[in-house]
Structure formats: C-alpha cells, structure tokens
C-alpha cells in the first residue's frame, strides 16, 4: 500500500489585536498605554534593533516617519524597499512583515487602536476617511527635507506629551495627532497626483473590491442558506480580508451608497425575484434570506419597498 503524501503544514499568521501582543511579537518593550504608543527608533539608543518581523495581521493604525536606513517593507500586497526619508503606513487587517535592515534604522512612529479613536471622535472622523489607511492605498512614499522637518517636529511634540505625567496629556496628543494626519493627507494627495501609475492602480484595486463584494453577496443569497450574520458589513469584510470601515468607504465612493445599503439592495432584489417568480411561502423566503422570523422580513421589506411582501406578490400576480 502506498503512503499518502502529506502536505506541509500551513504557517500560522497571528492576528494581533492589542498593543501588548504587537510588541511581544516584534520583540520590543511593552507600551505605556494600551491604546496608543509613539516611539523613536534611533541607532544610538537601540543598538540591539536587529530582527526580522515575521508576517502578522493586526488591528491597528500606524504612521511612520522614516528618516535613515534601508529596509524592505511588506504591507498587504505592496512591497517596497525604503532607503530615503519617507512615510509609510499600517492599517487594520493588513498582513505586515519586514526584513532585517542592512544598517540601523532611524524613524518615528505612532500606533493607535480603535479604542483610542472611540475616545476622540474628531480624530476618528478624520481617520476613517483618510486614503492612506485604505488597504489598497497604504503604500510608502518619499518626502522632501522641509516636509521631514515639519512632521518630525510634530512627532517630537507628541512624544514629549506622551512621556510626561500631565493629566491632560492625551487632549494635546489627540490634537497634535490630528494635525500630523492632516499634513500627511496633504502630502499623500500631492504624491498620488504626481504618480499616475499609482492612481490608476488604486482605482482598479477599489473597483475589484466592489465587484468582489457584489459577487460575495450574490453567492450567499444564491445558496438559500443565508443567516443573520450574512447581512452585516462585518461578515463580508472578514470574507474579503478587509476592515468594515474601509469596505464602507470604498463602496460609498463607487456607488454613493453605504455598504449596508448595498447589502440591503441586493437582499431586496432577491426577495422581489422570489416573490414574483416562485411559489415559496413568505416564511420560506424569509428564512432563505437569513431572517429568523417572517415578521423581521416583513419589516425589512416594508421599509425598503414601501409595501408588504404579501401585497407585492399579489400585485405581481
């Protein structure tokens, strides 16, 4: 009897959902705060900074001002070698890794969680609309010396507050971070305008995401075994390996609808097709579409179609 060939085990990619787990994974000291951290990587201070970060998925927002060194960064499907002053980003749900630098790095970075944003609404409103926190657009770009000086000054102000014992320090940290992100947004738009190949790539990536989202909704509805979870943005975002906020922003840009409205539109289309063309009972249709109770389906249908399923079917017949 011949032996079956066993396939090699797949490498586990950890999903890091808190900053303590992040710093443990990259072999660094823990943060001072559970939802926010800022660091300066300096070869004169961190002489032992010498490691390879294995691939990991994370749930954070990170923006890095790269000053000196040579590193190959992998973020999502982007791979780029950086050896000049630049900005690079990490956004939730990305798979990230980086290679051991050829020489010591010098950089600043801030990293924060959605928990931090929940406590700072103005900052959250800005972050959720920033293009460089979209997966397809979170790519590094080089900046000029005067831009390095401006951004470096803001990082230093944030770091000074972060290391202080002032009770109101996070009020200023949030304000400085807001200003930093506004400056970075301005630079990002300048960069995209100068790089037409990138702009085209970004548009194509977003179009692909919209079509994958549409196809996935149709697939789940076509099985006739949809459940309540299959009617949420979070469910489809996980299937598409993206963040719900990112998915919603892309869908809104391309369809002028929110992601949840996009889902509801497809459910309504499926419902009207089943009511018009089949003999399935309204109860059976409601279960096929993931509603636990026919009354929930009735409420959903009435809200979107301005009539009940029964009246709609009667009119069509």
Q: Is residue 138 part of a domain?
A: yes
- The verdict on 126 and 98 lying in the same domain is yes
- The verdict on 280 and 229 lying in the same domain is yes
- The verdict on 184 and 216 lying in the same domain is no
The pLDDT of residue 206 is 77
- The verdict on 188 and 48 lying in the same domain is yes
Q: What confidence tens digit (pLDDT) does each residue in 250-277 have?
A: 888 888 889 999 999 989 988 888 888 8
Q: How many domains does the chain have?
A: 2
pLDDT greater than 50 at residue 239: yes
- The verdict on 25 and 150 lying in the same domain is yes
The pLDDT of residue 207 is 80
Q: What confidence tens digit (pLDDT) does each residue in 114-167 have?
A: 899 989 989 988 988 888 887 667 778 889 999 999 999 999 999 999 999 999
pLDDT greater than 50 at residue 73: yes
The pLDDT of residue 45 is 54
Phi, psi angle pair for 197, to nearest 5°: -65, -40
Burial 164-175 (b: 16+ CB within 10 A, else e): eeeeebbebbbb
The pLDDT of residue 76 is 59
What CATH number is associated with residue 140? 2.60.120.280
Q: What confidence tens digit (pLDDT) does each residue in 199-209 have?
A: 666 667 778 88
The answer to whether the CB of 270 falls within 8 A of the CB of 304 is: no
Q: Is residue 50 part of a domain?
A: yes
Q: Kindly state the average pLDDT of the residues 49-67.
A: 80
- The verdict on 221 and 156 lying in the same domain is no
Q: Among the three residues 165, 194, 223, which one is the final residue of a domain in this structure?
A: 194
Q: How many CB atoms lie within 10 A of CB 92?
A: 21
- The verdict on 225 and 122 lying in the same domain is no
- The verdict on 187 and 220 lying in the same domain is no
The answer to whether the CB of 266 falls within 8 A of the CB of 217 is: yes
Q: What number of CA atoms fall less than 13 Å from residue 162's CA on the CB side?
A: 25
Long-range CB contacts for residues 219-224, cutoff 8 Å, separation at least 24: 221/266, 221/267, 221/270, 221/289, 224/288
State percent of the chain over pLDDT 90.
34
Residue 252: which domain range? 207-316
What CATH number is associated with residue 306? 1.10.10.60
Q: Grade residue 88 by pLDDT with cuts at 50, 70 and 90.
A: confident
Task: Say which residues have a Cβ less than 8 Å from residue 76's Cβ, sequence separation at least 6.
Answer: 94, 95, 96, 135, 136, 138
Separation of first and last alpha carbons in the chain: 63
Q: Among the three residues 194, 221, 243, which one is the final residue of a domain in this structure?
A: 194
What stretch of H or E contains 255?
A: helix 244-255
- The verdict on 250 and 285 lying in the same domain is yes
The pLDDT of residue 300 is 93
Q: Among the three residues 166, 194, 222, which one is the final residue of a domain in this structure?
A: 194
Q: Grade residue 46 by pLDDT with cuts at 50, 70 and 90.
A: low
| Nearest-angstrom CA–CA distance, 220 and 222 | 5
pLDDT greater than 60 at residue 191: yes
Percent helix / strand / coil, the chain, rounded to 5:
50, 15, 30
Lowest mean pLDDT among 6-20, 288-302, 303-317: 6-20
The pLDDT of residue 3 is 44
- The verdict on 45 and 190 lying in the same domain is yes
Task: Say which residues have a Cβ less than 8 Å from residue 5's Cβ, sequence separation at least 6.
Answer: none
- The verdict on 228 and 157 lying in the same domain is no
Q: Is residue 224 part of a domain?
A: yes
Q: Environment class of residue 156 by beta-carbon count within 10 Å: exposed (0-12), middle (13-18) or buried (19+)?
A: middle
* Mean pLDDT over the full length of the chain: 83
Q: Helix or strand or coil: residue 33?
A: coil
- The verdict on 100 and 149 lying in the same domain is yes
Long-range CB contacts for residues 155-164, cutoff 8 Å, separation at least 24: 155/38, 155/40, 155/65, 155/108, 155/110, 155/180, 156/108, 158/38, 158/110, 159/38, 159/40, 159/108, 162/32, 162/33, 162/36, 162/37, 162/38, 163/32
What stretch of H or E contains 36?
A: strand 36-41
Q: Is residue 260 part of a domain?
A: yes
pLDDT greater than 80 at residue 316: no
Q: Is residue 9 part of a domain?
A: no
Burial 236-275 (b: 16+ CB within 10 A, else e): bbeebebbbbbbbbbbeebeeeebeebbbebbbebbbebb
């Amino acid at each position: 009897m011949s032996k079956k060939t066993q396939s090699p085990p797949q490498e586990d990619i950890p999903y890091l959902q808190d900053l303590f787990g992040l710093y443990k994974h990259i072999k660094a000291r823990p943060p001072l705060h559970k939802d926010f951290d800022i660091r300066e990587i300096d070869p004169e201070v961190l002489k032992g900074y010498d490691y390879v970060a294995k691939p990991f998925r994370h749930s954070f927002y990170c923006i890095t001002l790269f000053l000196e060194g040579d590193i190959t960064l992998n973020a999502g499907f982007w791979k780029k070698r950086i050896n000049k002053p630049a900005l690079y980003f990490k956004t939730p749900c990305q798979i990230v890794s980086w290679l051991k630098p050829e020489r010591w790095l010098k950089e600043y970075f801030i990293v924060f969680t959605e928990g931090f944003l929940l406590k700072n609404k103005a900052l959250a409103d800005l972050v959720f609309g920033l293009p460089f926190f979209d997966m397809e657009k979170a790519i590094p770009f080089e900046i000029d010396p005067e831009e390095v000086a401006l951004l470096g000054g803001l990082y230093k102000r944030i770091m000074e507050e972060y290391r202080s014992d002032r009770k109101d320090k996070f009020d200023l940290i949030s304000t400085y971070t807001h200003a930093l992100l506004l400056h970075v947004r301005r630079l990002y738009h300048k960069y995209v305008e100068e790089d037409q190949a990138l702009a085209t790539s970004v548009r194509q990536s977003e179009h692909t995401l919209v079509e994958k989202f549409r196809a996935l909704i149709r697939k789940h509805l076509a099985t006739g075994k949809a459940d309540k979870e299959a009617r949420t943005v979070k469910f489809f975002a996980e299937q598409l390996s993206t963040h719900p906020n990112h998915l919603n922003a892309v869908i809104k840009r391309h369809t002028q609808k929110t992601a949840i409205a996009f889902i509801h539109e497809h459910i309504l289309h499926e419902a009207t097709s089943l009511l018009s063309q089949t003999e399935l009972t309204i109860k059976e249709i409601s279960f096929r579409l993931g509603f636990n109770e026919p009354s929930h389906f009735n409420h959903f249908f009435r809200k979107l179609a301005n009539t009940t399923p029964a009246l709609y079917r009667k009119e069509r017949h």
